[in-house]
Amino acid sequence: MPTNRQVEIISHTPQETEHIGSLLGEMLTRGDIIALAGELGTGKTTFVRGMAHGMGIEGKEVASPSFTLVNEYEGPLPLFHLDLYRLEDEQELLGIDYDEYIRGDGVAVIEWADRISQAVPRESLWIRLRYLGTELREIMFQAQGDRYEKIIEELQRKVYNEQLL
């Protein structure tokens, strides 16, 4: 996976992880692809909950779609939340209309994207969450393409201005 630019942000609490997700969500537009990776319990779903809030999706509890593989959230811009933890191989993507979600008219966020890295579009934003302590997380943003480079530069600026860095 070629990397154009990386930005690392440290989150000290789940609330901060959610807030960073919200800041990102405010910048997303139709067709954006967010690829999430990280161990169980690192805050991927918490981050997506924040993204949904930042995208203006209100009144729905964002939860991991582990048993359905995909949750769709309606808002000013639809959010397609795919959780591929239980996926055995990339062939199973055909059964969930994967291409429709990633080429759809909303934002696609893919948890456990590292399991299908070959199927993630070349232009995407990779986010890896990693344990550093009980609540402490490293959130590494890797831009794949000019648009995502601009997004993470702006996100870094916003986080710095709020003194979260």
Taking the whole predicted model, whether its pTM rises above 0.85 is answered as yes
**How big, in percent rounded to 5, are the helix, strand and coil portions of the chain?**
35, 25, 40
Domain that holds residue 99: 5-161
Q: What is the CATH number of the domain that holds 141?
A: 3.40.50.300
Q: What is the mean pLDDT of residues 11-40?
A: 95
Q: What is the mean pLDDT of residues 114-141?
A: 91
76 token code pair: 């000013």
Q: How many domains does the chain have?
A: 1
